[in-house]
């Protein structure tokens, strides 16, 4: 266990941040899975802008790498255009 007050506080803060990051990452993965399961192009096109926004926010916060964000968005658009 930590001996300093500041390190105890840092442990608490890190745990809160870890849980928040896990929530946002899991939410993004679930939304991505749901969009990939859609077989109707019109429905997918309506949801893709919110999905791109979610991916961009995660990349901006540093939860996913910017290149991973670009690859996810690119792959998503390829799938939707193939419908």
pLDDT at 11: 93
CATH no. for residue 41?
1.20.58.110
pLDDT at 3: 81
Q: Which of 2-6, 20-24, 27-31, 60-64 has the lowest mean pLDDT?
A: 2-6
pLDDT-derived band at 83, boundaries 50, 70, 90 = confident
- Around Cβ 28, how many Cβ atoms within 10 Å? 19
Structurally, the chain folds into a number of domains equal to: 1
Higher pLDDT, 53 or 1: 53
- Enclosing H/E stretch for 47: helix 41-61
Domain that holds residue 37: 5-82
Angle in degrees, 0-180, between the axes of helices 41-61 and 66-82, rounded to the nearest 10: 180
- Around Cβ 51, how many Cβ atoms within 10 Å? 19
Q: What is the per-residue pLDDT across 32-71, written as a single tens digit (0 to 9) for each?
A: 999 999 999 999 999 999 999 999 999 999 999 999 999 9
Q: Is the pLDDT of residue 1 over 90?
A: no
The residue written with tokens 């791109």 in the block is 52
């Amino acid at each position: 266990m930590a001996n300093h007050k500041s390190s105890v506080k840092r442990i608490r803060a890190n745990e809160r941040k870890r849980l928040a990051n896990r929530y946002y990452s899991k939410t993004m993965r679930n939304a991505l899975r749901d969009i990939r399961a859609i077989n109707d192009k019109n429905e997918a096109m309506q949801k893709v802008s919110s999905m791109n926004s979610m991916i961009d926010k995660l990349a901006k916060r540093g939860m996913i790498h910017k290149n991973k964000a670009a690859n996810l968005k690119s792959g998503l658009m390829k799938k939707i255009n193939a419908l």
